[in-house]
Amino acid sequence: MKITRFVSLAMTGLFAVTGAHAQSSLQLQSWMSPEVADAWKMGFKGSGTTITVVDDFRSNNVFNGNLGQGTQRLRHGDWTLKEASMVAPGASVLKRDFSSSTTVGLLNSRLNVLNLSYGILGAAGYTASQIGWSSRERSIINYAQNGRAVISKAAGNDAVAIGSANASGKVDYLNLALKAAPSGIFVGALSTNGTVMAPATLAYYSNTPGTDPLVQQKFVVVGVEGAKTGLRGTSFAAPIISGYAAILGSKFTRSSPTQITNQLLNTARQDTIAGYNPAIHGRGEASITRALAPVKIQ
């Protein structure tokens, strides 16, 4: 069976990007939900947490985008890391190039979050347990299944249900392996940030949870403002959730990755989505304001 690794867009070592640099230029950008500013004003910016971005940091594949700091030409991983660090400027953000298949380590922080804006494609017809996973994916799947880290996984850009084959007959087996994992979240994309007065619609490219209730319960959507940033794809939805998880971890400092995951899922909104349908939008649009609201979480 041939397995293809892909970066979802239309290393042996971990390299740190500290929160201090992002803090120096802290500013809400137009592509962010206004709720992010509310979290910052309350003092929750991800401090004490670690986000590890597993992505492309070494290839020659670069493309244009603008996250509010002027047009830049960066690799896919540089974009996803930048996005996560801008949402959670207090977090320690690490980059791990996916040219390395070695185990992904977790740091001794209050909360570890892994951002996966890629997938593992193979011909349809297999189960996740039949895949010969590398040490990297084995470690990631283990962390999700054992609740050791929040795993924010881009749903994919085939506009098909998770677990279904795309037009080329390929399935993302990393999605299948993470299905129902206690601390895993699938992230789809809305074309804009939704509000009650202006509900958002699903981005044309975004995968959906489909009819499987196990996937629906682990699926949220967020706005990917591609018209503003030039960046489209669920690749750029996942880092928002990674940032939200870090923000939550900086408030609920004694909470486990599974508790943080469940809080994001349980507080998602349906009233900001046009024609909300769990088979399309899962739990709804993630709301960091609602997730932060209680004094404690379980």
Q: What is the pLDDT of residue 18?
A: 44
CATH number at residue 105: 3.40.50.200
Residue 297 lies in a domain: no
Chain segment 30-74, per-residue pLDDT in tens: 999 999 999 999 999 999 999 999 999 999 999 999 999 999 999
pLDDT of 23 above 80: no
Q: What is the pLDDT of residue 9?
A: 38
Residue 140 lies in a domain: yes
Residue 38 lies in a domain: yes
Instruction: State percent of the chain over pLDDT 70.
Output: 92
Q: What is the pLDDT of residue 263?
A: 98
pLDDT of 100 above 50: yes
Residue 137 lies in a domain: yes
Residue 298 lies in a domain: no
Residue 69 lies in a domain: yes
Q: What is the pLDDT of residue 124?
A: 96
Residue 120 lies in a domain: yes
Chain segment 240-262, per-residue pLDDT in tens: 999 999 999 999 999 999 999 99
Chain segment 178-237, per-residue pLDDT in tens: 999 999 999 999 999 999 999 999 999 999 999 999 999 999 999 999 999 999 999 999
Residues spanned by the domain of 287: 3-292
Nearest C-alpha neighbor of 134 from the set 11, 51, 232: 11
Categorize the per-residue pLDDT at 298 as very low, low, confident or very high, splitting at 50, 70 and 90.
confident
pLDDT of 104 above 90: yes
**Residue bearing the bigger pLDDT, 18 or 56:** 56
Q: What is the pLDDT of residue 6?
A: 52
User: Across residues 132-145, what is the average pLDDT?
Assistant: 97
